[in-house]
Amino acid sequence: MITLVTLYLLLVAAVIVWIILRDGFTRYEELISLRNFFLLGMLIFQVTGTAYTLGDNAAGEFIPADMAGSAVAFAGKLTIFLILFFIAGRMMTGPVDRFIGRRKSGTFRMAPFNLLVIAVSTIPAGLFCQFVLNRVPIIGPGMGYLAFGLYAVGAGLASWVAAPRLANPVYLIPSSAIILFCMALTFYQNFGRRDLLGVIVAVMWAAYFARWRALPPAKMTMRLTALAAAGVVLIFAVTSVRSPEFRDRGIIENIMSLREAKLSDGLADVLSGQAAGMASMWLIESRPESKEYDTLHSVRMVLLMPVPRAIWPNKPTALALTMPQQEVHIAKRPDNYNIGPGIIGHVENDNPWLALWMYPLFLGALIRVLDRLAAWYADDPFIVLPMGAAIGQFIGMPRGELGTFFFIGMINIIGAFVIMQSLAWVLKTLGFIKRDAEWEGDEYQEYEEATYEHSQEEPYV
Protein backbone atom coordinates (compact mmCIF):
# COMPACT_ATOMS: atom_id res chain seq x y z
CA MET A 1 0.00 0.00 0.00
CA ILE A 2 2.83 2.40 0.82
CA THR A 3 4.31 1.76 -2.62
CA LEU A 4 0.95 2.55 -4.25
CA VAL A 5 0.62 5.78 -2.30
CA THR A 6 4.17 6.76 -3.24
CA LEU A 7 3.42 6.17 -6.93
CA TYR A 8 0.17 8.09 -6.60
CA LEU A 9 1.96 11.08 -5.05
CA LEU A 10 4.48 11.07 -7.87
CA LEU A 11 1.55 11.09 -10.31
CA VAL A 12 0.04 14.07 -8.45
CA ALA A 13 3.41 15.84 -8.74
CA ALA A 14 3.48 15.20 -12.48
CA VAL A 15 -0.07 16.56 -12.86
CA ILE A 16 0.80 19.73 -10.93
CA VAL A 17 3.86 20.33 -13.10
CA TRP A 18 1.79 19.69 -16.23
CA ILE A 19 -0.87 22.20 -15.12
CA ILE A 20 1.78 24.84 -14.41
CA LEU A 21 3.40 24.41 -17.82
CA ARG A 22 0.10 24.09 -19.70
CA ASP A 23 -1.39 27.22 -18.13
CA GLY A 24 1.84 29.13 -18.61
CA PHE A 25 2.35 28.39 -22.28
CA THR A 26 -1.37 28.59 -23.19
CA ARG A 27 -1.43 31.99 -21.44
CA TYR A 28 -4.16 31.13 -18.95
CA GLU A 29 -1.76 31.92 -16.11
CA GLU A 30 1.50 33.82 -15.87
CA LEU A 31 4.33 31.29 -15.73
CA ILE A 32 5.72 33.26 -12.78
CA SER A 33 2.77 33.67 -10.42
CA LEU A 34 1.86 33.38 -6.76
CA ARG A 35 -0.24 30.33 -7.58
CA ASN A 36 2.71 28.54 -9.09
CA PHE A 37 5.00 29.40 -6.19
CA PHE A 38 2.36 28.14 -3.74
CA LEU A 39 2.13 24.95 -5.82
CA LEU A 40 5.93 24.70 -5.70
CA GLY A 41 5.66 24.68 -1.91
CA MET A 42 2.97 22.01 -2.13
CA LEU A 43 5.23 19.91 -4.33
CA ILE A 44 8.25 20.16 -2.03
CA PHE A 45 6.61 19.90 1.38
CA GLN A 46 3.50 17.81 0.80
CA VAL A 47 3.83 15.81 -2.42
CA THR A 48 7.35 14.83 -3.49
CA GLY A 49 8.76 15.27 0.01
CA THR A 50 6.18 12.87 1.40
CA ALA A 51 6.78 10.39 -1.44
CA TYR A 52 10.50 10.50 -0.65
CA THR A 53 10.07 9.94 3.09
CA LEU A 54 7.51 7.14 2.91
CA GLY A 55 8.82 3.72 3.87
CA ASP A 56 12.55 3.29 4.37
CA ASN A 57 13.26 7.03 4.14
CA ALA A 58 10.85 7.97 6.94
CA ALA A 59 12.50 10.60 9.11
CA GLY A 60 11.69 13.09 11.83
CA GLU A 61 10.22 12.96 15.32
CA PHE A 62 6.65 12.55 14.06
CA ILE A 63 6.26 9.22 12.28
CA PRO A 64 2.78 7.63 12.28
CA ALA A 65 2.41 4.18 13.80
CA ASP A 66 0.08 3.06 11.01
CA MET A 67 2.12 4.33 8.08
CA ALA A 68 -0.03 2.74 5.37
CA GLY A 69 -3.39 3.87 6.74
CA SER A 70 -2.19 7.40 7.47
CA ALA A 71 -0.61 7.64 4.00
CA VAL A 72 -3.88 6.70 2.29
CA ALA A 73 -5.82 9.25 4.35
CA PHE A 74 -3.18 11.88 3.65
CA ALA A 75 -3.26 11.26 -0.12
CA GLY A 76 -7.06 11.52 -0.15
CA LYS A 77 -7.18 14.80 1.76
CA LEU A 78 -4.33 16.23 -0.30
CA THR A 79 -6.27 15.43 -3.47
CA ILE A 80 -9.44 17.11 -2.18
CA PHE A 81 -7.42 20.17 -1.11
CA LEU A 82 -5.79 20.57 -4.54
CA ILE A 83 -9.07 20.08 -6.45
CA LEU A 84 -10.86 22.72 -4.37
CA PHE A 85 -7.87 25.06 -4.68
CA PHE A 86 -7.95 24.88 -8.49
CA ILE A 87 -11.75 25.22 -8.61
CA ALA A 88 -11.66 28.37 -6.48
CA GLY A 89 -9.02 29.93 -8.73
CA ARG A 90 -10.99 29.29 -11.89
CA MET A 91 -14.24 30.57 -10.36
CA MET A 92 -12.58 33.88 -9.44
CA THR A 93 -11.01 34.57 -12.85
CA GLY A 94 -14.07 35.91 -14.69
CA PRO A 95 -15.39 38.23 -11.93
CA VAL A 96 -11.96 39.67 -11.19
CA ASP A 97 -11.17 40.30 -14.87
CA ARG A 98 -14.49 42.02 -15.45
CA PHE A 99 -14.00 44.20 -12.38
CA ILE A 100 -10.45 45.24 -13.27
CA GLY A 101 -11.15 45.56 -17.01
CA ARG A 102 -13.86 48.18 -16.43
CA ARG A 103 -11.55 50.29 -14.28
CA LYS A 104 -8.10 49.99 -15.79
CA SER A 105 -6.90 53.14 -17.54
CA GLY A 106 -3.65 53.90 -19.41
CA THR A 107 -0.36 52.52 -18.20
CA PHE A 108 2.22 54.53 -16.28
CA ARG A 109 5.90 54.68 -17.16
CA MET A 110 8.88 55.84 -15.20
CA ALA A 111 12.51 56.41 -16.10
CA PRO A 112 14.90 53.73 -14.75
CA PHE A 113 17.03 56.14 -12.72
CA ASN A 114 13.98 57.21 -10.70
CA LEU A 115 13.17 53.55 -10.02
CA LEU A 116 16.69 53.01 -8.69
CA VAL A 117 16.28 55.97 -6.35
CA ILE A 118 13.09 54.43 -4.99
CA ALA A 119 14.81 51.04 -4.69
CA VAL A 120 17.51 52.60 -2.52
CA SER A 121 14.88 54.39 -0.40
CA THR A 122 13.17 51.11 0.51
CA ILE A 123 16.27 50.03 2.43
CA PRO A 124 16.20 52.76 5.14
CA ALA A 125 12.42 52.36 5.26
CA GLY A 126 12.91 48.65 5.96
CA LEU A 127 15.59 49.34 8.56
CA PHE A 128 13.27 51.80 10.30
CA CYS A 129 10.55 49.13 10.42
CA GLN A 130 12.95 46.43 11.60
CA PHE A 131 14.74 48.33 14.36
CA VAL A 132 12.40 51.16 15.41
CA LEU A 133 8.75 50.45 14.62
CA ASN A 134 9.11 46.82 15.67
CA ARG A 135 9.34 48.07 19.28
CA VAL A 136 5.93 49.76 19.13
CA PRO A 137 3.23 47.76 20.97
CA ILE A 138 0.57 46.02 18.89
CA ILE A 139 2.03 46.95 15.47
CA GLY A 140 5.60 45.94 16.32
CA PRO A 141 5.54 42.33 15.06
CA GLY A 142 3.91 43.38 11.80
CA MET A 143 6.51 46.09 11.23
CA GLY A 144 9.34 43.64 11.79
CA TYR A 145 7.88 41.36 9.13
CA LEU A 146 7.21 44.28 6.77
CA ALA A 147 10.91 45.17 6.81
CA PHE A 148 11.79 42.01 4.88
CA GLY A 149 8.95 42.68 2.46
CA LEU A 150 10.46 46.09 1.75
CA TYR A 151 13.88 44.54 1.14
CA ALA A 152 12.21 42.22 -1.38
CA VAL A 153 10.55 45.20 -3.07
CA GLY A 154 13.85 47.09 -3.18
CA ALA A 155 15.60 44.13 -4.80
CA GLY A 156 12.63 43.76 -7.15
CA LEU A 157 12.82 47.40 -8.26
CA ALA A 158 16.54 46.99 -8.96
CA SER A 159 15.81 43.85 -10.96
CA TRP A 160 13.04 45.69 -12.84
CA VAL A 161 15.63 48.20 -14.00
CA ALA A 162 18.41 45.71 -14.77
CA ALA A 163 16.51 42.88 -16.49
CA PRO A 164 15.92 44.70 -19.81
CA ARG A 165 19.42 46.23 -19.75
CA LEU A 166 21.78 43.41 -18.82
CA ALA A 167 24.46 44.73 -21.19
CA ASN A 168 24.36 48.25 -19.75
CA PRO A 169 26.73 48.59 -16.74
CA VAL A 170 25.26 52.00 -15.87
CA TYR A 171 22.14 50.19 -14.66
CA LEU A 172 23.47 46.69 -14.04
CA ILE A 173 26.14 47.60 -11.47
CA PRO A 174 24.00 49.71 -9.09
CA SER A 175 21.09 47.29 -9.49
CA SER A 176 23.30 44.34 -8.56
CA ALA A 177 24.65 46.23 -5.54
CA ILE A 178 21.13 46.96 -4.28
CA ILE A 179 20.06 43.32 -4.74
CA LEU A 180 23.11 41.96 -2.91
CA PHE A 181 22.67 44.43 -0.05
CA CYS A 182 18.99 43.52 0.35
CA MET A 183 19.95 39.84 0.41
CA ALA A 184 22.63 40.52 3.03
CA LEU A 185 20.12 42.23 5.32
CA THR A 186 18.15 38.99 5.60
CA PHE A 187 21.14 37.36 7.32
CA TYR A 188 21.07 39.69 10.33
CA GLN A 189 20.16 37.64 13.43
CA ASN A 190 17.80 35.57 11.31
CA PHE A 191 17.50 31.78 11.41
CA GLY A 192 14.78 31.43 8.75
CA ARG A 193 15.30 31.10 5.01
CA ARG A 194 11.99 32.51 3.83
CA ASP A 195 13.15 36.12 3.99
CA LEU A 196 16.20 35.39 1.86
CA LEU A 197 14.07 33.26 -0.44
CA GLY A 198 11.61 36.16 -0.71
CA VAL A 199 14.34 38.51 -1.93
CA ILE A 200 15.71 35.95 -4.40
CA VAL A 201 12.29 35.21 -5.88
CA ALA A 202 11.38 38.92 -5.97
CA VAL A 203 14.33 39.43 -8.31
CA MET A 204 12.98 36.72 -10.60
CA TRP A 205 9.41 38.04 -10.27
CA ALA A 206 10.46 41.57 -11.27
CA ALA A 207 12.69 40.41 -14.13
CA TYR A 208 9.84 38.35 -15.56
CA PHE A 209 7.28 41.16 -15.49
CA ALA A 210 9.71 43.90 -16.48
CA ARG A 211 10.68 42.28 -19.76
CA TRP A 212 11.28 38.55 -19.83
CA ARG A 213 7.61 37.57 -20.14
CA ALA A 214 7.65 39.15 -23.61
CA LEU A 215 10.66 37.13 -24.79
CA PRO A 216 10.37 34.00 -26.97
CA PRO A 217 9.58 30.98 -24.74
CA ALA A 218 13.00 29.35 -25.18
CA LYS A 219 14.90 32.52 -24.32
CA MET A 220 12.61 33.31 -21.39
CA THR A 221 12.96 29.78 -20.01
CA MET A 222 16.74 29.87 -20.30
CA ARG A 223 17.03 33.12 -18.36
CA LEU A 224 14.55 32.09 -15.66
CA THR A 225 16.31 28.74 -15.28
CA ALA A 226 19.72 30.37 -14.87
CA LEU A 227 18.39 32.80 -12.26
CA ALA A 228 16.47 30.07 -10.42
CA ALA A 229 19.52 27.78 -10.39
CA ALA A 230 21.65 30.45 -8.72
CA GLY A 231 18.95 31.01 -6.11
CA VAL A 232 18.52 27.28 -5.46
CA VAL A 233 22.26 26.82 -4.89
CA LEU A 234 22.26 29.66 -2.35
CA ILE A 235 19.22 28.28 -0.52
CA PHE A 236 20.79 24.81 -0.42
CA ALA A 237 23.96 26.34 1.02
CA VAL A 238 22.07 28.25 3.72
CA THR A 239 19.99 25.16 4.54
CA SER A 240 23.09 23.06 5.13
CA VAL A 241 24.76 25.46 7.57
CA ARG A 242 21.98 27.31 9.37
CA SER A 243 21.67 26.75 13.10
CA PRO A 244 19.94 28.43 16.07
CA GLU A 245 23.11 30.51 16.53
CA PHE A 246 22.10 32.47 13.43
CA ARG A 247 19.63 34.38 15.64
CA ASP A 248 22.46 35.83 17.72
CA ARG A 249 24.98 36.63 14.98
CA GLY A 250 25.46 39.55 12.64
CA ILE A 251 25.39 39.68 8.86
CA ILE A 252 29.09 39.06 8.20
CA GLU A 253 29.36 36.13 10.59
CA ASN A 254 26.31 34.38 9.18
CA ILE A 255 27.40 34.94 5.60
CA MET A 256 30.92 33.70 6.34
CA SER A 257 29.44 30.45 7.65
CA LEU A 258 28.43 29.64 4.07
CA ARG A 259 32.05 28.62 3.47
CA GLU A 260 31.21 25.38 5.30
CA ALA A 261 28.13 24.69 3.19
CA LYS A 262 27.49 21.21 1.79
CA LEU A 263 25.02 21.41 -1.06
CA SER A 264 24.26 17.69 -0.79
CA ASP A 265 22.95 18.21 2.76
CA GLY A 266 20.72 21.04 1.59
CA LEU A 267 19.45 18.92 -1.28
CA ALA A 268 18.60 16.04 1.05
CA ASP A 269 16.69 18.41 3.34
CA VAL A 270 14.65 19.74 0.43
CA LEU A 271 13.99 16.26 -1.01
CA SER A 272 12.51 15.19 2.32
CA GLY A 273 10.26 18.24 2.43
CA GLN A 274 11.64 18.75 5.95
CA ALA A 275 9.44 15.82 6.99
CA ALA A 276 6.31 18.00 6.78
CA GLY A 277 4.44 15.12 5.14
CA MET A 278 5.31 12.79 8.01
CA ALA A 279 4.09 15.40 10.50
CA SER A 280 0.84 15.79 8.56
CA MET A 281 0.26 12.02 8.63
CA TRP A 282 1.07 11.92 12.34
CA LEU A 283 -1.60 14.57 12.94
CA ILE A 284 -4.11 12.63 10.84
CA GLU A 285 -3.44 9.59 13.03
CA SER A 286 -3.62 11.48 16.33
CA ARG A 287 -6.69 13.69 15.71
CA PRO A 288 -9.17 13.48 17.37
CA GLU A 289 -8.20 10.25 19.20
CA SER A 290 -5.16 11.56 21.12
CA LYS A 291 -6.14 15.21 21.07
CA GLU A 292 -9.38 16.94 20.15
CA TYR A 293 -9.63 19.11 17.05
CA ASP A 294 -8.56 22.74 17.60
CA THR A 295 -11.24 24.11 15.30
CA LEU A 296 -9.96 26.78 12.88
CA HIS A 297 -6.80 27.26 14.92
CA SER A 298 -4.98 28.83 11.94
CA VAL A 299 -7.73 31.42 11.48
CA ARG A 300 -7.51 32.43 15.13
CA MET A 301 -3.73 32.62 14.83
CA VAL A 302 -4.08 35.15 11.98
CA LEU A 303 -6.67 37.27 13.80
CA LEU A 304 -4.87 37.30 17.15
CA MET A 305 -1.28 37.62 15.90
CA PRO A 306 -1.04 41.38 16.67
CA VAL A 307 -2.07 40.86 20.32
CA PRO A 308 1.07 40.86 22.51
CA ARG A 309 1.49 37.71 24.60
CA ALA A 310 2.33 40.01 27.53
CA ILE A 311 -1.29 41.20 27.42
CA TRP A 312 -2.78 37.75 26.77
CA PRO A 313 -0.37 35.05 27.96
CA ASN A 314 -2.77 32.25 27.00
CA LYS A 315 -3.44 33.34 23.44
CA PRO A 316 -3.22 30.52 20.86
CA THR A 317 0.27 29.12 20.25
CA ALA A 318 1.58 27.93 16.90
CA LEU A 319 1.00 24.26 16.18
CA ALA A 320 4.62 24.12 14.99
CA LEU A 321 5.65 24.83 18.59
CA THR A 322 3.06 22.87 20.58
CA MET A 323 3.63 19.61 18.68
CA PRO A 324 7.29 19.14 19.76
CA GLN A 325 6.94 20.90 23.13
CA GLN A 326 3.61 19.68 24.49
CA GLU A 327 2.72 16.49 22.61
CA VAL A 328 5.97 14.60 22.01
CA HIS A 329 8.21 16.48 24.51
CA ILE A 330 11.36 16.32 22.40
CA ALA A 331 14.42 16.61 24.62
CA LYS A 332 17.68 18.43 24.00
CA ARG A 333 16.12 21.04 21.75
CA PRO A 334 16.06 24.85 22.17
CA ASP A 335 12.91 26.38 23.68
CA ASN A 336 11.87 27.88 20.34
CA TYR A 337 12.37 24.62 18.41
CA ASN A 338 9.58 24.13 15.90
CA ILE A 339 8.63 21.79 13.09
CA GLY A 340 6.59 22.05 9.88
CA PRO A 341 3.16 20.43 10.44
CA GLY A 342 2.33 20.66 6.73
CA ILE A 343 -0.80 22.31 5.39
CA ILE A 344 -2.74 19.02 5.43
CA GLY A 345 -1.64 18.63 9.05
CA HIS A 346 -3.08 22.06 9.79
CA VAL A 347 -6.31 21.06 8.08
CA GLU A 348 -6.53 17.94 10.27
CA ASN A 349 -5.70 19.78 13.48
CA ASP A 350 -8.14 22.60 12.67
CA ASN A 351 -11.07 20.18 12.17
CA PRO A 352 -11.09 18.80 8.61
CA TRP A 353 -14.89 18.88 8.47
CA LEU A 354 -14.53 22.67 8.18
CA ALA A 355 -10.92 23.37 7.23
CA LEU A 356 -10.64 20.90 4.35
CA TRP A 357 -13.02 22.97 2.23
CA MET A 358 -12.61 26.43 3.77
CA TYR A 359 -8.82 26.70 3.51
CA PRO A 360 -8.30 25.64 -0.14
CA LEU A 361 -11.29 27.65 -1.38
CA PHE A 362 -10.13 30.79 0.42
CA LEU A 363 -6.47 30.45 -0.56
CA GLY A 364 -7.31 29.57 -4.17
CA ALA A 365 -9.60 32.60 -4.54
CA LEU A 366 -7.26 35.07 -2.80
CA ILE A 367 -4.16 33.97 -4.71
CA ARG A 368 -6.08 34.22 -7.99
CA VAL A 369 -7.11 37.82 -7.22
CA LEU A 370 -3.49 38.79 -6.48
CA ASP A 371 -2.25 37.07 -9.64
CA ARG A 372 -4.85 38.78 -11.82
CA LEU A 373 -3.86 42.17 -10.43
CA ALA A 374 -0.25 41.46 -11.37
CA ALA A 375 -1.27 40.27 -14.85
CA TRP A 376 -3.51 43.24 -15.65
CA TYR A 377 -0.96 45.78 -14.38
CA ALA A 378 2.07 43.86 -15.63
CA ASP A 379 3.94 47.02 -16.67
CA ASP A 380 3.36 48.89 -13.39
CA PRO A 381 6.00 48.04 -10.75
CA PHE A 382 3.99 49.87 -8.10
CA ILE A 383 1.35 47.14 -8.32
CA VAL A 384 3.34 44.13 -9.54
CA LEU A 385 6.12 44.25 -6.96
CA PRO A 386 3.90 44.40 -3.84
CA MET A 387 2.13 41.29 -5.15
CA GLY A 388 5.53 39.58 -5.09
CA ALA A 389 6.71 40.96 -1.75
CA ALA A 390 5.84 37.82 0.18
CA ILE A 391 6.54 34.93 -2.19
CA GLY A 392 8.79 33.22 0.36
CA GLN A 393 5.82 33.03 2.74
CA PHE A 394 3.57 31.57 0.04
CA ILE A 395 6.15 28.89 -0.71
CA GLY A 396 6.40 28.15 3.02
CA MET A 397 2.65 27.96 3.74
CA PRO A 398 2.35 24.30 2.62
CA ARG A 399 5.05 23.44 5.18
CA GLY A 400 3.50 25.47 7.99
CA GLU A 401 3.01 27.32 10.29
CA LEU A 402 0.03 28.24 8.08
CA GLY A 403 -1.52 31.05 10.15
CA THR A 404 1.80 32.74 10.87
CA PHE A 405 3.02 32.60 7.28
CA PHE A 406 -0.32 33.87 5.97
CA PHE A 407 -0.25 36.79 8.42
CA ILE A 408 3.31 37.72 7.48
CA GLY A 409 2.51 37.38 3.79
CA MET A 410 -0.49 39.70 3.93
CA ILE A 411 1.40 42.23 6.06
CA ASN A 412 4.15 42.31 3.44
CA ILE A 413 1.76 42.61 0.48
CA ILE A 414 -0.56 45.22 2.00
CA GLY A 415 2.25 47.21 3.61
CA ALA A 416 4.39 47.24 0.46
CA PHE A 417 1.36 48.16 -1.65
CA VAL A 418 0.43 51.11 0.59
CA ILE A 419 4.02 52.39 0.72
CA MET A 420 4.60 52.03 -3.03
CA GLN A 421 1.24 53.56 -3.94
CA SER A 422 2.07 56.52 -1.69
CA LEU A 423 5.40 56.91 -3.46
CA ALA A 424 3.66 56.59 -6.83
CA TRP A 425 1.17 59.32 -5.92
CA VAL A 426 3.98 61.68 -4.91
CA LEU A 427 5.96 60.96 -8.08
CA LYS A 428 2.92 61.32 -10.33
CA THR A 429 2.14 64.65 -8.68
CA LEU A 430 5.71 65.79 -9.34
CA GLY A 431 5.53 64.59 -12.96
CA PHE A 432 8.06 61.77 -12.78
CA ILE A 433 5.42 59.19 -13.69
CA LYS A 434 2.99 59.80 -16.53
CA ARG A 435 0.40 58.01 -18.60
CA ASP A 436 1.40 57.13 -22.13
CA ALA A 437 -0.86 59.84 -23.53
CA GLU A 438 0.67 62.52 -21.29
CA TRP A 439 4.14 62.31 -22.83
CA GLU A 440 4.53 64.89 -25.57
CA GLY A 441 6.93 65.46 -28.48
CA ASP A 442 10.59 65.65 -27.55
CA GLU A 443 9.78 64.80 -23.96
CA TYR A 444 8.37 61.41 -24.99
CA GLN A 445 11.37 60.77 -27.25
CA GLU A 446 13.72 61.50 -24.36
CA TYR A 447 11.71 59.15 -22.19
CA GLU A 448 11.89 56.36 -24.77
CA GLU A 449 15.65 56.76 -25.01
CA ALA A 450 15.97 56.47 -21.23
CA THR A 451 13.77 53.42 -20.85
CA TYR A 452 12.47 50.54 -22.96
CA GLU A 453 9.36 49.35 -24.73
CA HIS A 454 7.04 47.31 -22.57
CA SER A 455 5.14 44.42 -24.09
CA GLN A 456 1.71 45.64 -25.19
CA GLU A 457 0.12 42.22 -24.88
CA GLU A 458 -3.21 41.89 -23.10
CA PRO A 459 -3.11 40.14 -19.69
CA TYR A 460 -3.41 36.40 -19.75
CA VAL A 461 -6.98 35.13 -19.87
In a domain, 460, yes or no: no
Contacts of 123 (CB under 8 A, 6+ apart): 150, 151, 154, 178, 181, 182, 185
Return d(Cα 162, Cα 179) in angstroms, integer.
Answer: 10
Q: Which pTM does this prediction carry?
A: 0.87
Return d(Cα 111, Cα 105) in angstroms, integer.
Answer: 20
- pLDDT (tens digit, 9 = 90+) per residue, 301-314? 999 887 877 778 78
Give phi and psi for 100, each to the nearest 5: -70, -40
Provide the β-strand partners of residue 433.
Answer: 110
Q: Which of 130-134, 266-270, 445-449 has the highest average model confidence (pLDDT)?
A: 130-134
In a domain, 22, yes or no: yes
Type of residue numbered 34: L
Average confidence (pLDDT) over 174-195: 82
Contacts of 16 (CB under 8 A, 6+ apart): 39, 42, 43, 47, 82
Predicted pLDDT of residue 327: 80
For residue 424, name the pLDDT band (cuts at 50, 70, 90): confident
Range in 28-37, 104-113, 381-390 the model is least confident about: 104-113
Range in 232-246, 268-282, 331-345, 444-458 the model is least confident about: 444-458
Q: Is the pLDDT of residue 233 over 90?
A: no
Q: Is the pLDDT of residue 396 over 80?
A: yes
Predicted pLDDT of residue 71: 92
For residues 186, 189, 191, 192, the Cα torsion angle rounded to the nearest 10 degrees is -30
Average confidence (pLDDT) over 352-362: 96
User: Residue 125 belongs to what domain range?
Assistant: 2-450
List alpha helices for 26-111, DSSP H: 34-42, 48-53, 67-101
Range in 222-226, 323-327, 342-346 the model is least confident about: 323-327
In a domain, 368, yes or no: yes
In a domain, 114, yes or no: yes
Average confidence (pLDDT) over 122-133: 86
For residue 457, name the pLDDT band (cuts at 50, 70, 90): very low
Q: Is the pLDDT of residue 368 over 90?
A: yes
In a domain, 458, yes or no: no
Predicted pLDDT of residue 372: 92
Residue 160 · residue 116 · CB < 8 Å: no
Q: Which of 84-88, 126-130, 398-402 has the highest average model confidence (pLDDT)?
A: 84-88
Average confidence (pLDDT) over 13-24: 93
In a domain, 36, yes or no: yes
Q: Provide the number of structural domains found in the chain.
A: 1
Average confidence (pLDDT) over 31-41: 93
Residue 269 · residue 240 · CB < 8 Å: yes
Helix (H) or strand (E) holding 273, with range, is: none
More confident residue, 137 or 6: 6
Q: Is the pLDDT of residue 19 over 90?
A: yes
